[in-house]
A and B are shown apart, each in its own frame.
Chain A
Amino acid sequence: MWNDRSFRANLGWTLRDTLAMVWRNLTVIRRVPQLLVFSFIQPLIFVLMFRYVFGGAIKVPGTRYVDYLMPGVFVQTVSFGALNTAIGLAEDKNRGLLERLQSLPMSRAAVLGGRVLADTTRNVFIVLLMLAVGFAVGFRAHTSPLEVAAGVGLMVLFGLALCWIFAIIGLFVPNGEAAQAAAFPLLAPLVFASSAFVDPRSMPGVLRWWAERQPVSVTAKGVRALTIGGPEYPTSYVWASIAWSLAIIAVMAPIAIRKYRRR
């Protein structure tokens, strides 16, 4: 049934439809800059608080605290960026927009693909801003610029993986507020019970076990491996983070797309 030509034509339309949706989502993000500013303020507050208020009292292995902190803040930033996926999809459903899109002869993967890619673009933008903030508060990379760039890639890939999880939430809840309410309890233990801000070795039993293994921590350590390096932050965490991200995408993207296609 799927001879080569129709398969290629389908792939072409999938790409074009996805790009059209990316354009639409980015236009909306651009038109409502308050949302973007808000996404930027939260990690900014964390930087100021942990760098200047608590930072003096926090001990981390093998490096200055600010160099430990910033990779954690980056991963926090991309993680919370994924909230946008859930809220955006739920609001499109609430407004009846998804119904219109489902009645068009467009690719069945483009609505979700376009959402996730637009939110990933948004993540890149915010991460670059946070990187500038980091340099302003004294963060320094101990590695080459290429490795730092790879670090950005690592956290953005992780953010993209989270977007697929949150796409599923967005498709299940009725509106944006419900999306936020459903997503936050999932996000908070991932981001805060992690090695993003403090060394888990200071945490009690079960919490420590969780905080050392879960994907936010693994990704933060991967980013540290690429910005600090040394024996405390080995590159094995980079591969572990990539494995987490790819596994999440492999499982969650098909579930989300199937949920979207289900009539």
Chain B
Amino acid sequence: MTGDSPATAIVAEELRRTFGDVVAVDNISLAVPRGTVLGLLGVNGAGKTTMVRMLATVLKPDSGRAMVHGFDVIKQPQDVRRSIGLAGQNAAVDENLTGRENLELVGRLSHLGKSKSRERATALLDQFGLVDAGNRTVRTYSGGMRRRLDLGAALVAQPPVLFLDEPTSGLDPASRLDLWGVIESLVSDGTTVLLTTQYLEEADRLADNIVVIDKGLIAAEGTAKQLKGQIGDTVIEFEFANPSVAASAATTLGSTVAAGTVVRLVMSNGPATLRDAMNQLAAADIAPSHVALREPTLDDVFLTLTGSGATK
């Protein structure tokens, strides 16, 4: 039924999908080698979910081609479906079924058979720390528990390729860390993962390769290290007494005023960047009222790579 595992688990070539006048995905190509994690990074509305839905055969591309686990998403959708697990943006579990019933239902609908479905449900409840909650209806679950169950549902058929759409959005920091651990252990077992996220930190932690998308197009791609190298490790934020001082400081530093009285500078040259900047400001007789160092954020990626600010 499933072919040999191809070396490239996911290939997308010039995928495009529109909804009426809205171009959700304009033209995106990507390739995910087997056993690796690709992070699809972008702000709200960038086209991440549409991309995942096309690859998971939920949506049909308007044009372009895609192969998942060696099967064509347009011509062989049922074969693709036998090879993937999808955990969508909101936990797609049935509130009125128990955790176990949810998993067993997915097993039956994945044609695993009754006893195998039961066996998988037991194993997954155990793996996701839901053994005690397994016979309660999902209605009584916390947000983190629902997410874990949803991820479990995507894993029932032990698919070689996994799509996770913003797996940790809306979770508190502890549950997020928890889920990161779960995803890491899956990957170490050889699963290929495409995950979407709005957080650079998350892509950094989980992904081997990152594709930054903006307005349905690829804005940048590379490893987390390469991307961070492009934007510098850290951003320096100078704050000034008033906007006119900020404006002249920006001219002095060869930057622009980011917001109000704030001027940002990418720390491209390590700590020397800060020393040089302070020297330049001193020479121009300008003193910042406040200086802060900030780890780069998705905003910085967009600022540096696309020249447009991320809209939250």
Interfacial residues, chain A to chain B (CB-CB below 8 A): 13, 16-17, 20-21, 24, 27-28, 31-32, 95-97, 99-106, 110, 263
Contact = CB atoms under 8 A, between A and B. Distances in A.
A229 B186 CA distance: 68
Interface of B: 53, 56-60, 77-78, 81-82, 84-86, 88-97, 101, 105-106, 108-111, 137, 153
A104 B102 CA distance: 14
B82 A96 contact: no
Nearest to B89: A96
Contact of A96 (B78, B81, B91, B109): B91
Contact of B101 (A27, A95, A104, A263): A27
B216 to A, nearest CB: 18
Question: Looking at B57, B59, B94, which has the most chain A CB atoms within 10 Å of its CB?
Answer: B94
B97 A24 contact: yes
A28 to B, nearest CB: 4
A131 B95 CA distance: 32
Given A96-B88, A99-B53, A105-B78, A28 B108 contact: no
A20 B105 CA distance: 7
B91 A20 contact: no
* 7 closest A-B pairs by CB: A96-B92, A263-B60, A100-B92, A105-B81, A103-B86, A106-B109, A28-B96
Contacts of B96: 27-28, 31-32
Contacts of B90: 95-96
Given A100-B153, A263-B58, A20 B109 contact: yes
A101 B57 CA distance: 11
Contacts of B92: 95-97, 99-100
Contacts of B108: 16-17, 20
A105 B89 contact: no
Contacts of B109: 17, 20-21, 101, 104-106, 110
Contacts of A28: 94, 96-97
A91 to B, nearest CB: 10
Contact of A97 (B56, B77, B82, B94): B94
A87 to B, nearest CB: 14
B49 to A, nearest CB: 10
A contacts with B: majority SS: helix
Given A27-B96, A100-B86, A13 B91 contact: no
Contacts of A96: 88-92
A13 B84 contact: no
30 contacts: A16-B108, A24-B94, A24-B97, A24-B101, A27-B97, A27-B101, A28-B97, A31-B97, A31-B137, A95-B90, A95-B94, A95-B95, A96-B91, A96-B92, A97-B92, A99-B58, A100-B88, A100-B92, A104-B110, A105-B78, A105-B82, A105-B109, A105-B110, A106-B109, A106-B110, A106-B111, A110-B109, A263-B58, A263-B59, A263-B60
Nearest to A99: B88
Contacts of A16: 108, 111
Contacts of B86: 99-100, 103
A263 B74 CA distance: 10
A158 to B, nearest CB: 28
A32 B139 CA distance: 11
Contacts of A104: 81, 106, 109-110
A103 B91 contact: no
Nearest to A101: B109
B58 A105 contact: no
Nearest to B110: A104
A106 B108 CA distance: 9
Given A31-B137, A100-B88, 11 more contacts: A16-B108, A17-B108, A24-B94, A31-B96, A95-B95, A96-B90, A99-B86, A100-B86, A103-B57, A104-B109, A106-B109
B198 to A, nearest CB: 18
Contacts of A24: 94, 97, 101, 105
Contacts of B77: 263
A24 B106 CA distance: 11
A263 B111 contact: no
A31 B135 CA distance: 13
Contacts of B95: 95
A28 B89 CA distance: 23
Contacts of A95: 90, 92, 94-95
Nearest to A17: B109
Contacts of A32: 96
B136 to A, nearest CB: 12
Candidate in A28, A96, A97, A104 with the most chain B CB atoms within 10 angstroms? A104
